[in-house]
Amino acid sequence: MSVPERFIQYLQEQALCQPHDRILIAVSGGKDSVMMARLFVESGYAVGFAHCNFQLRGKESDADEALVYELAKTLNVPFYVTRFDTASYARKHGISIQMAARDLRYAWFETIRVSQGYKYIAVAQHRNDHVETLLLNLVRGTGLAGLCGIQPKRGHIIRPMLFLNADEIAAYVKENKLEYRDDLSNFSTKYARNKIRMEVIPRLKELNPDLEVTLAKSMAHFADAYTVLQHHVKQLRKQLFAEYKEGEWRMSKRALATLEPQQFLMYELFKPFGFTDAVMSDLAGTLMGTGISGKQFASSSYVLYVDREEVILTPKKAIHEPIAALERPGAAVKWGTCRFESHVSEDKRIQAEMHIAQFDADKIVFPLSIRSWQEGDAFRPLGMKGHKKLSDLFVSLKIPVHRKHTVPVVTNGNGDILWVVPYRMDDRYKITGKTKKVLTLACF
């Protein structure tokens, strides 16, 4: 069976997408993403190419962007591009360059997906990436979730190249003379993932030449086992957690103490709230009588209080930025580390930039407010008919709980949320065919 036939078969077997779905393809310019882009186009899918220039390698980054632009032009597909000051973003948020790039690109991909009407975002991770992720998780320490590797489909993200290994991709690219660019940082062993790929895996393959296939099968079994576990944990959480206020729960000390295996299940129960295995070990000791009533255990966003008969789970009180007001069109205001600028025009062209949102100006009520997330906040995300809680949005975007209060929330004068910056705007205030004037907000 040819690679294009295997590609279609994998899409169908994993239920990644349907032939009529529009797919936004993340194209970096490397061989993996260029090959994936070609396979989608040649398979007849309606696609668009999205490219992020992280401005980390100077002219090399610009050359990557130029290659993807030319590929999109040659294949006559829409091309979306953005540039990030990745280094500044990493410093501002106190995270690594790699994590900053990940946060920026996935948030921007989702913005383009929703605003331009795509069903899925396709990312070109392959079987070797799958194996590297497992080994990296094992080295760093992981729970069962880390043993599952990379999932073919998670929400609107699909990974259609997981059926191929790196050698197969290289052979196909060479045979079909596909033009691509290598990122030289991928060959530096100062990065842990590269060290595993270039030094550890070759030694393991001396023991098992079919290492990628073997570990991929093992990860599939781990994923199935984890699914069964999570179903059990979900049912336990329903039984044990009694919600007495939104976002706050009480549970019986006796019920927690009789779980078996106790510490393992407690970790899975409280993991969504940011508690570590070490904290669960301490809590288990308290439940067994080695601690005292009134003891507290904290994660980055929640606190566990041990009472005489109960354990109480409650959110930490968040530190909010003061509310800022945008008094009128054309005004500017600062909130936290962000500066907001606004203007009104009759130009209804969509600006597909992550830091810009556009609204039907006639629906806007000034002054606008810019504030932190508040408990119970909800809005109607662009492209959706129903409402969604911001707390659920933050979970789906994988925004760490300790950073969600730094996300600016722009509200209309009538109290509606207009924009969760820079991730989503409200569908009720979007530009339509009836729009006469457009309010543009930019966040820098």
Residues 350-399: pLDDT tens digits?
Answer: 887 888 999 999 999 999 999 999 888 999 999 888 899 998 898 888 77
Which pLDDT band holds residue 293 (cuts at 50, 70, 90)? low
355 near 442, Cβ under 8 Å? Answer: yes
Please check the confidence at residue 278 and state whether its pLDDT lies above 80. yes
32 is in an annotated binding site: yes
Determine the Cα–Cα distance for residues 72 and 441; give it in Å rounded to an integer. 29
Which tokens in the block code for residue 94? 């106190």
Using alpha carbons, select from 423, 397, 426 the residue that is nearest to residue 411.
Answer: 426
pLDDT band at 213 (very low <50, low <70, confident <90, very high): confident
pLDDT in tens, 56-98: 888 999 999 999 999 999 999 999 999 999 988 888 888 888 8
**Per-residue pLDDT at 401:** 58
List, in sequence order, the alpha helices (H) in 95-208: 97-116, 127-140, 166-175, 192-195, 201-207
Per-residue pLDDT tens for 155-166?
999 999 999 999
Q: Cα–Cα distance between 71 and 302 in angstroms, integer? A: 48
Does 28 belong to an annotated binding site? yes
Secondary structure element (H or E) that encloses residue 442, with its range: strand 438-443
Rg of the Cα trace of the chain?
Answer: 24
Is 30 annotated as ligand-binding?
yes
E strands within 255-323? 296-298, 302-306, 310-315
Higher pLDDT, 90 or 178: 178
> Would the pTM of this model clear 0.75, i.e. be above it?
no
Residue recorded with tokens 């606004």: 342
CA-nearest of 88, 58, 95 to 185 is 58
Mean per-residue pLDDT, 321-337: 89
Q: Which of 15-19, 100-104, 158-162, 415-419 has the lowest mean pLDDT?
A: 100-104
| Across 189-199, average pLDDT | 81
**Is 415 known as a binding-site position?**
no
User: 146 is written with which tokens?
Assistant: 């880390």
Element (H, E) at 357: strand 356-360
